[in-house]
């Protein structure tokens, strides 16, 4: 069965989805992990559960409005495939109830079972997106998904890394992965300048401690300038040098911020 | 009658004594210096499009660690109202608002410049701003003490309702979709809850990241959502800037100009002062409202948009008045009315000062010193800025491709120095992504910031109120002040959601 859904405001559509996702995430995490308490003595979960629920509800209203609002924007028509959605939901429900298959601590666990389970949930996910043909997404959804995956990996890696230790190789690798994650998400929106700017910031954060302020500033200026519309090597070099001198003089010498000026292994 | 004058005299006496104390603090050479740095920096970022007071204050917050609280707040306040002066220069000469609160100044200011009257336009903007600044300073000095006294009687229920009112008002006055604005407030409140819960000691939503157990850094959110997202959005558009190259001469407006605009300055000041006090108000709203009012009041409204001096005088007075009076809720109630004030709260907390009505009694030097410094700062702005306009114009010639890497460098160093760890920088980059998505989806970030700063406060007061009432939620309706505030909040919502008003509101924002 195919139903045509007309989205009159794609911005509301995505904003609504975003609010629903945030609301549900906060609601779910809070009620699962923290104590609710009573209305007299509220536990740590009370306030976030209420707010999360409210946010998801509001998000739903915004989402529904995206289909109802009158707007001068050209309507997007989605040839919405209901059966894909139904199948995705059914498969998803099955996967949820069989989630014990993934639990290695239970008796009867085999890797094969976990693989089967992963495949079933994967199909559910693909069907869910397949219900809405991909081109209605205002950005390249796969890049976002891969970017988010890499970002999750970078986060996991971060929790594994010993904190505040200048292991250059690990830092470089982690910088690369996080940069790639940010980059992919931004590349999904099409504009190079966007992700270059954020990438430059991520690089700055990572190299400041091991390589010092001068190198970090120069890198930041060069990478971010590359994200602009025109890149003039001579001008950018002068700017980078000037900014490096200025920030060393004012922030380290003047304000006394505790930062390395030169790479740690030089000193 | 006699007793009235007697009381009035006493009031005037304490006011004079308080202001005297304030000036003795503000006029110390150190505070004068920080005030000067603040207003100059404010003017600078006001002149430059693409960086606003929010990002600048966020950038400087870590630096204020090293200062004493009074100097720090004097400097940060100077940035905010200094930016209102600077913003008008760009609006008039380049037809680009240097600050969002100068958007309407472009309409008539640039036309005046094209007619060769850039000088008088700049002059009247500065004079109007100065007048408004003086009046607003007096209003703060007069209105703050009684308000703080009322606020001292507030219990948790009153505080909770006050915050509800503040947040609702902020969403009503934000432009764009009301529903989305409320959703953004909720999202902000939730993000504010990340970190260790004071009552139970549970680290909420921290996902095992030790840095998150102290909560999400406020500077990161503000800088990411306002600073980085703004740079990225700016880079998306091709740069085209047409600078008024003709030499600006004769800054003093003529006698006729004064005759034409004195009433507008008065109206703008009054309207701006009133709107600044409102939660959700501040410079931006004040300037829009003042321009609309002038157009309504004027006998020849056809002149507007074609270089009417009233169209410069009124909004410029209003935005400066609004910028200053928005300190009133902050100083008396400890509640921020806009994102800049939320940052000021952050600055106070960095210094270990709990914002609220007790600041005035416990730290009179800080309180009155800051108020007095506003007047001093305004004087500095008028005296220094008019001769320096040539320099600001030169700065405007600096292309954005040079500006934005510089802004990024300062932002990154500022963020990094909060706790000397790359984590804050990453966090800010992440909020840059989020902020960019907000821009794309037309979700206003200002309500989110307010919610973020109020989240923990609101939860705390809700808990206390419910504990005191033994779990009876009716307590919010039984206490008269609390009830009144909730009723006003409900009234605001109903009014805005009413179809007729809704249409008008959308029109007003489109027109502006």
> Tens of pLDDT along A137-194?
555 667 777 777 887 887 777 777 665 555 666 666 776 777 677 666 666 665 666 7
Tell me which of A7 and B353 has the higher pLDDT: B353
Chosen from A204, A213, A231, A250 to mutate, greatest number of chain B CBs within 10 A: A204
For the segment A247-266, the average pLDDT, to the nearest whole number, is 78
Cβ neighbours for A132, distance < 8 A, ≥ 6 positions apart: A78, A80, A81
**What is residue A27's predicted lDDT score, i.e. its pLDDT?**
92
Share of chain B above pLDDT 70, in %: 91
Distance CA B46, CA B100 (A): 9
Share of chain B above pLDDT 90, in %: 5
Whether residues B441 and A213 touch (CB distance < 8 A) is answered with no
Query: For the segment B459-474, what is each residue's pLDDT rounded down to a tens digit?
Result: 988 999 988 888 888 8
Candidate from B401, B459, B470 with C-beta closest to A230 = B401
Average pLDDT, chain A: 78
Residue B266, strand partner residues: none
**What is residue B269's predicted lDDT score, i.e. its pLDDT?**
92
Backbone torsions φ then ψ of A231, nearest 5 degrees: -125, 110
Whether residues A208 and B238 touch (CB distance < 8 A) is answered with no
Q: Does residue B428 belong to the interface with chain A, where contact is any CB pair within 8 Å?
A: yes
Sign for the CA dihedral angle at B407, B412, B418, B424 comes to positive
Buried/exposed B318-352: b ≥16 CB within 10 Å, e otherwise: bbbbbbbbbbbbbbbbbbbbbbbbbbbbbbbebbe
Candidate from A15, A41, A247 with C-beta closest to B441 = A15
For the segment B370-389, the average pLDDT, to the nearest whole number, is 85
Tell me which of B402 and B236 has the higher pLDDT: B402
Check whether A129 has a pLDDT greater than 80. no
Distance CA B281, CA B274 (A): 9
Distance CA B85, CA B38 (A): 12
Of the ranges A153-157, B244-248, B378-382, which one carries the lowest mean pLDDT score? B244-248
Average pLDDT, chain B: 82
Check whether A22 has a pLDDT greater than 90. yes
Check whether A265 has a pLDDT greater than 70. no
Of the ranges B31-45, B56-70, B262-276, B314-328, which one carries the lowest mean pLDDT score? B56-70
Asked whether B272 and B132 are in contact (CB, 8 A), the reply is yes
**The residue to which tokens 């008019």 are assigned:** B386
Q: Kindly list the residues from chain B whose CB atom is less than 8 angstroms away from the CB atom of residue A34.
A: 197, 200, 202, 204
- CA of A265 vs chain B CAs: smallest distance (Å): 19
**The residue to which tokens 């950018």 are assigned:** A236
**What is residue B233's predicted lDDT score, i.e. its pLDDT?**
78
Candidate from B66, B182, B436 with C-beta closest to A194 = B436
Q: Whose CA is closest to B220, among B353, B50, B417? A: B417
**What is residue B81's predicted lDDT score, i.e. its pLDDT?**
85
- CA of B307 vs chain A CAs: smallest distance (Å): 32
Residue A260: CB atoms within 10 A of its CB come to 19
Distance CA B21, CA B26 (A): 9
Whether residues A221 and B405 touch (CB distance < 8 A) is answered with yes
Asked whether B432 and B232 are in contact (CB, 8 A), the reply is yes
**What is residue A90's predicted lDDT score, i.e. its pLDDT?**
87
SS3 B203: strand
Check whether B207 has a pLDDT greater than 90. no
Whether residues A198 and B463 touch (CB distance < 8 A) is answered with no
- CA of B119 vs chain A CAs: smallest distance (Å): 33
SS3 B99: coil
**The residue to which tokens 């000037």 are assigned:** A242
Asked whether B511 and B293 are in contact (CB, 8 A), the reply is no
Q: What are the extents of the domains in chain A? A: 1-74, 79-137, 139-267
Task: Tell the burial category of A77 from Cβ atoms under 10 Å away from its Cβ (0-12, 13-18, 19+).
Answer: exposed
Q: Kindly list the residues from chain A whose CB atom is less than 8 angstroms away from the CB atom of residue B423.
A: 205
**What is residue B511's predicted lDDT score, i.e. its pLDDT?**
45
Q: What is the dihedral angle through the alpha carbons of B191, B193, B195, B199, rounded to the nearest 10 degrees?
A: 180
For the segment B354-372, the average pLDDT, to the nearest whole number, is 85
For the segment B206-213, the average pLDDT, to the nearest whole number, is 76
Q: Kindly list the residues from chain A whose CB atom is less than 8 angstroms away from the CB atom of residue B412.
A: 201, 204-205, 216, 220
pTM, two decimals, is 0.79
- CA of B48 vs chain A CAs: smallest distance (Å): 18
Six-digit token pair at B43?
């003017």
Chosen from B413, B433, B469 to mutate, greatest number of chain A CBs within 10 A: B413
Check whether A35 has a pLDDT greater than 90. no
Q: Kindly list the residues from chain A whose CB atom is less than 8 angstroms away from the CB atom of residue B171.
A: none
**What is residue B390's predicted lDDT score, i.e. its pLDDT?**
78
Query: For the segment A72-83, what is each residue's pLDDT rounded down to a tens digit?
Result: 555 555 566 777
Asked whether B25 and B70 are in contact (CB, 8 A), the reply is yes
Check whether B510 has a pLDDT greater than 60. no
Q: Does residue B500 belong to the interface with chain A, where contact is any CB pair within 8 Å?
A: no
Check whether B407 has a pLDDT greater than 80. yes
**What is residue B187's predicted lDDT score, i.e. its pLDDT?**
94
Six-digit token pair at B62?
């870590």
Cβ neighbours for A20, distance < 8 A, ≥ 6 positions apart: A56, A59, A60, A63
**Residue A257 to residues A5, B101, B346, B416: CA-CA distances in angstroms?**
57, 34, 20, 10
Whether residues A54 and B402 touch (CB distance < 8 A) is answered with no
Whether residues A208 and B416 touch (CB distance < 8 A) is answered with yes
**What is residue B53's predicted lDDT score, i.e. its pLDDT?**
82
For the segment B237-242, the average pLDDT, to the nearest whole number, is 61
Q: What is the CA radius of gyration of chain B?
A: 22
Q: Kindly list the residues from chain B whose CB atom is less than 8 angstroms away from the CB atom of residue A42.
A: 199, 459, 462-463, 466
Distance CA B480, CA B228 (A): 44
SS3 A248: helix
Q: What are the extents of the domains in chain B? A: 11-239+250-511
**What is residue A75's predicted lDDT score, i.e. its pLDDT?**
55
In which band, very low, low, confident or very high, does the pLDDT at B36 lie, cut at 50, 70 and 90? very high
Query: For the segment A9-20, what is each residue's pLDDT rounded down to a tens digit?
Result: 777 888 888 899
Q: Whose CA is closest to B332, among B145, B74, B505? A: B145
Check whether A1 has a pLDDT greater than 70. no
- CA of B229 vs chain A CAs: smallest distance (Å): 9
ipTM of the complex: 0.81
In which band, very low, low, confident or very high, does the pLDDT at A100 lie, cut at 50, 70 and 90? confident
Interface of B with A in 187-216 (CB under 8 A): 187, 189-190, 193, 197, 199-200, 202, 204-205, 207-210
Question: Residue B240, by phi and psi: left (phi above 0), alpha (psi -120 to 50) or beta?
Answer: beta
**What is residue A166's predicted lDDT score, i.e. its pLDDT?**
53
In which band, very low, low, confident or very high, does the pLDDT at A50 lie, cut at 50, 70 and 90? very high
State the alpha helices, DSSP H only, in B303-444: 310-325, 327-333, 339-350, 358-362, 364-396, 400-419, 422-440
Distance CA B496, CA A69 (A): 17
Check whether B417 has a pLDDT greater than 90. no
Candidate from A158, A201, A247 with C-beta closest to B429 = A201
Q: Whose CA is closest to B200, among A54, A51, A47? A: A47
């Amino acid at each position: 069965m195919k139903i045509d859904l007309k989205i009159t405001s794609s911005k509301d559509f995505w904003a609504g989805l975003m609010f629903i996702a945030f609301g549900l995430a906060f609601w779910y995490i809070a009620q699962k992990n923290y104590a609710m308490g009573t209305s007299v003595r509220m536990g740590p979960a009370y306030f976030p559960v209420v707010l999360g629920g409210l946010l998801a509800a509001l998000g739903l209203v915004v989402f529904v409005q995206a289909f109802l609002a009158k707007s001068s924007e050209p309507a997007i028509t989605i040839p919405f495939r209901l059966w894909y959605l139904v199948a995705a939901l059914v498969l998803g429900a099955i996967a949820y109830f069989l989630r014990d298959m993934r639990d290695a601590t239970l008796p009867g666990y085999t890797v094969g079972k976990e693989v089967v389970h992963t495949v079933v949930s994967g199909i559910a996910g693909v069907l869910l997106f397949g219900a809405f043909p991909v081109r209605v997404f205002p950005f390249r959804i796969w890049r976002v998904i891969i970017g988010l995956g890499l970002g999750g990996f970078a986060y996991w890696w971060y929790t594994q890394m010993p904190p505040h230790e200048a292991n250059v190789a690990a830092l470089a690798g982690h910088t690369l992965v996080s940069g790639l994650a940010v980059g992919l998400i931004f590349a999904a929106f099409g504009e190079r300048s966007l992700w270059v700017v954020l990438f430059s910031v991520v690089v700055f954060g990572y190299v400041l401690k091991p390589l010092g302020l001068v190198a970090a500033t120069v890198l930041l200026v060069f990478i971010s300038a590359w994200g602009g519309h025109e890149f003039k090597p001579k001008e950018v070099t002068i700017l980078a040098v000037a900014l490096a001198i200025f920030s060393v003089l004012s922030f380290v010498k003047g304000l006394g911020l505790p930062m390395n000026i030169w790479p740690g292994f030089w000193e | 009658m006699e007793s009235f004058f007697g009381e009035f005299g006493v009031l005037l006496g304490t006011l004079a004594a308080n202001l005297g104390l304030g000036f003795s603090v503000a006029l110390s050479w150190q505070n004068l210096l920080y005030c000067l740095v603040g207003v100059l920096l404010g003017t600078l970022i006001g002149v430059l499009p693409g960086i606003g007071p929010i990002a600048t204050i966020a950038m400087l917050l870590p630096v204020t660690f090293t200062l004493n609280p009074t100097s720090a707040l004097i400097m940060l306040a100077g940035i905010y109202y200094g930016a209102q002066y600077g913003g008008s220069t760009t609006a008039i000469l380049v037809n680009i608002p240097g600050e969002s609160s100068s958007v309407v100044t472009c309409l008539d200011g640039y036309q005046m410049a094209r007619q060769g009257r850039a000088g008088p336009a700049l002059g009247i903007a500065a004079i109007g701003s100065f007048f408004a600044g003086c009046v607003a300073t007096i209003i703060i000095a007069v209105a703050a003490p009684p308000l703080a006294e009322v606020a001292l009687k507030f219990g948790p229920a009153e505080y909770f309702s006050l915050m509800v009112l503040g947040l609702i008002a902020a969403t009503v006055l934000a432009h764009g979709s009301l529903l989305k604005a409320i959703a953004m407030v909720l999202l902000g409140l939730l993000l504010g809850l990340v970190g260790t819960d004071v009552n139970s000691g549970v680290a909420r939503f921290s996902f095992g990241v030790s840095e998150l157990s102290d909560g999400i850094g406020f500077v990161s959110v503000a800088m990411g959502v306002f600073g980085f997202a703004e740079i990225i959005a700016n880079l998306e558009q091709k740069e085209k800037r047409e600078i008024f190259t003709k030499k600006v001469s004769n800054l003093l407006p003529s006698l006729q100009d004064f005759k034409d605009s004195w009433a507008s300055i008065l109206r703008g000041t009054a309207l701006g002062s009133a709107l600044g006090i409102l939660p959700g108000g501040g410079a931006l709203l004040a300037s829009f409202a003042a321009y609309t009012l002038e157009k309504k009041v004027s006998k020849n409204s056809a002149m507007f948009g074609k270089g009417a001096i009233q169209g410069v005088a009124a909004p410029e007075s209003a935005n400066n008045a609004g910028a200053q009076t928005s300190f009133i809720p902050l100083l008396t109630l400890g509640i921020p009315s806009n994102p800049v004030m939320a940052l000021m709260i952050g600055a106070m907390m960095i210094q270990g000062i709990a914002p609220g009505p007790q600041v005035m009694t416990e730290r009179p030097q800080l309180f009155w010193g800051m108020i007095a410094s506003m007047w001093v700062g305004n004087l500095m702005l008028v005296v220094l800025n008019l001769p320096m306009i040539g320099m600001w114009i030169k700065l405007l010639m600096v292309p954005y491709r040079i500006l934005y890497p510089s802004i990024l460098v300062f932002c990154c160093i500022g963020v990094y120095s909060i706790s000397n760890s790359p984590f804050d920088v990453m966090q800010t980059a992440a909020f840059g992504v989020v902020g960019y998505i907000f821009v794309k989806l037309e979700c206003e970030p200002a309500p989110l910031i307010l919610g973020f700063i109020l989240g923990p406060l609101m939860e705390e007061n809700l808990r206390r109120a419910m504990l005191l009432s033994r779990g009876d939620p009716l307590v919010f309706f039984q206490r008269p002040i609390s009830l009144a505030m909730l009723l006003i909040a409900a009234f605001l919502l109903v009014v805005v959601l009413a179809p007729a008003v809704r249409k008008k509101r959308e029109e007003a924002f489109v027109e502006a």
